[in-house]
A and B are shown apart, each in its own frame.
Chain A
């Protein structure tokens, strides 16, 4: 045994990073995480909604409509966080060809699009009573809309690729280009419409009383947990879908080979 030390006969135990990349290992541990995560999400939502709807004061200017904020701000926060997660996954996919990063990137895109759409929708519902309009070409709203269009483009791009591995690399490049561009777009849009009304959220964020900050933070946590729960489920579904595709392909090939053999023996 001593003289074989220089040439390991079996592969080294993979480090934590490689183990993280293995979809099989992921399927193993993520199974036990989904129910606790879902339960935690529900509990946090219950607490947050109770605070937001019953145990927080109405705003002296906006009245009861201030409660829309507890749904709107978490969605707006997620619309940006999800893109950040996709960008990190894109780096993982490009640099290490991390198979799980591809899956994470793919399953985050529709979720990000949904949260961004909800942020725009709740924002316009909130804008109607407070600003008197459903839509304003305000800098923040416009850049969120552009972000939504980018999510839609990425989802559409994923749907056009039949080959996952090649598609993932190309989409990762595009995700990163988008990530570089988002701050520029945001800057340009703010610069374009400097006449927008002072942003209510940041204005309140600095001087927010605890009675409003607490439900807001709880709701942000709840939505973030909701995203992670949905993302885990979506990732597991994607891995299973890929396995099913592989099995199907193998089955078709095996049947074709068997038929050929049958035909050959018949002759």
Chain B
């Protein structure tokens, strides 16, 4: 458990002292929110109805952008080697990396969502539903993305291939995430999509650390 907390702490400190990743991701996330109305046109009702979709796409793309170096830095400076000799299993450490990464990349995006909500003229119920759905859905996005990052660790052109692998797998997150937003904010609110979203996130978090550990171990061989 010590190693688990130590890795989370280390990653948070690294992120705080470098600072670059979080700020870049936030800038990217907000830029998508700015670009979309320019492409669609300043039509208030249209933007309001598209807002959940725009926010989810922005979150998905920002998550993919941030995952590029998740394991690459650790691979290059030899930390991955050290992890494989730690007294905790590699899967546990992969879970720690996931949690740290969610705190560094996904949480700031969720906290920045109000800005996009204002720019896209979202109603308050829809905004609230989007926030809840993002809280439940982003862990799955980060976990799937981390799997892509672990697969791509040894590849020179890994940054290009990981999104191609990950996007088809994140279809359920998008579907349940956006329907959760729409059904929660709609006239007859229903929780089923939200529950499915949570279930998918839990399932993904439960399984991916093992797959990530396997991939990292083969990468270290």
Give chain A's interface residues, CB within 8 Å of chain B: 94, 146-147, 149-150, 152-154, 156-157, 160-161, 166, 169-171, 173-174, 176-178, 180-181, 184-185, 187-189, 191-192
B161–A160 CB distance below 8 A: yes
- Bound CA span A157–B164, Å: 9
Instruction: Flag if A157 contacts B161 (CB, 8 Å).
Output: yes
Query: Does B171 belong to the interface (CB within 8 Å)?
Result: yes
Max chain A CB contacts within 10 Å: which of B147, B154, B161, B165? B165
Q: Which residues of B contact A176 (CB under 8 A)?
A: 211
Which residues on the B side are within 8 Å of A149 (C-beta)?
A: 164, 167-168
Q: A166-B219, A189-B175 are in contact. Are A173 and B211 (CB under 8 A)?
A: yes
Residues in B with CB closer than 8 Å to A147 are 168
B218: which A residues are within 8 A, CB to CB? 166, 169-170, 173
B215 at the interface (CB under 8 A from A): yes
Residues of chain A within 8 A of B167, CB atoms compared: 149
* Cβ contact of A170, chosen from B157, B179, B207, B215, cutoff 8 A: B215
A166 touching B154, Cβ below 8 Å: yes
Q: Is the CB of A191 within 8 A of B175?
A: yes
Q: Is there a chain A Cβ closer than 8 Å to B169's Cβ?
A: yes
Bound: A184/B203 CA distance, A: 11
Query: Would B164 and A156 count as touching, CB distance under 8 A?
Result: yes
Is the Cβ of B155 less than 8 Å from the Cβ of A152?
no
Q: Which residues of A contact B211 (CB under 8 A)?
A: 173-174, 176-177
Given the known A-B contacts A177-B147, A191-B175, are A153 and B168 also in contact in the complex, defined by CB atoms under 8 Å? Answer: yes
Per DSSP, are chain A's interface residues mostly helix, strand or loop, or mixed? helix
Task: List A contacts of B169 (CB < 8 A).
Answer: 150, 177-178, 181, 185
Question: With an 8 A cutoff between CB atoms, is B132 at the interface?
Answer: no
- Contact residues in A for B214 (Cβ distance below 8 Å): 94, 169, 173
Give Cα distance in the complex from A3 to B208, angstroms: 52
Instruction: Name the CB-closest residue of B to A171.
Output: B151
Q: Are B154 and A188 in contact (CB under 8 A)?
A: no
CA distance A13 to B141 in the complex (A): 49
Q: B161 is contacted by which of A153, A177, A180, A185 (Cβ under 8 Å)?
A: A153
Cβ-defined partner of B219 (8 Å) among A94, A170, A181, A191: A170
Chain A residue nearest to B157 (CB atoms) is A160
Which B residues are in CB contact (< 8 Å) with A177? 147, 169, 207-208, 211
A-B contact pairs, 18 of them (CB 8 A): A146-B171, A153-B164, A153-B168, A154-B165, A160-B155, A170-B151, A170-B215, A171-B151, A173-B214, A173-B215, A174-B147, A178-B168, A180-B207, A181-B172, A184-B172, A188-B171, A188-B176, A189-B175
- The answer to whether the Cβ of B221 comes within 8 Å of any Cβ in the partner chain is yes
A171 to chain B minimum Cβ distance, whole angstroms, is: 8
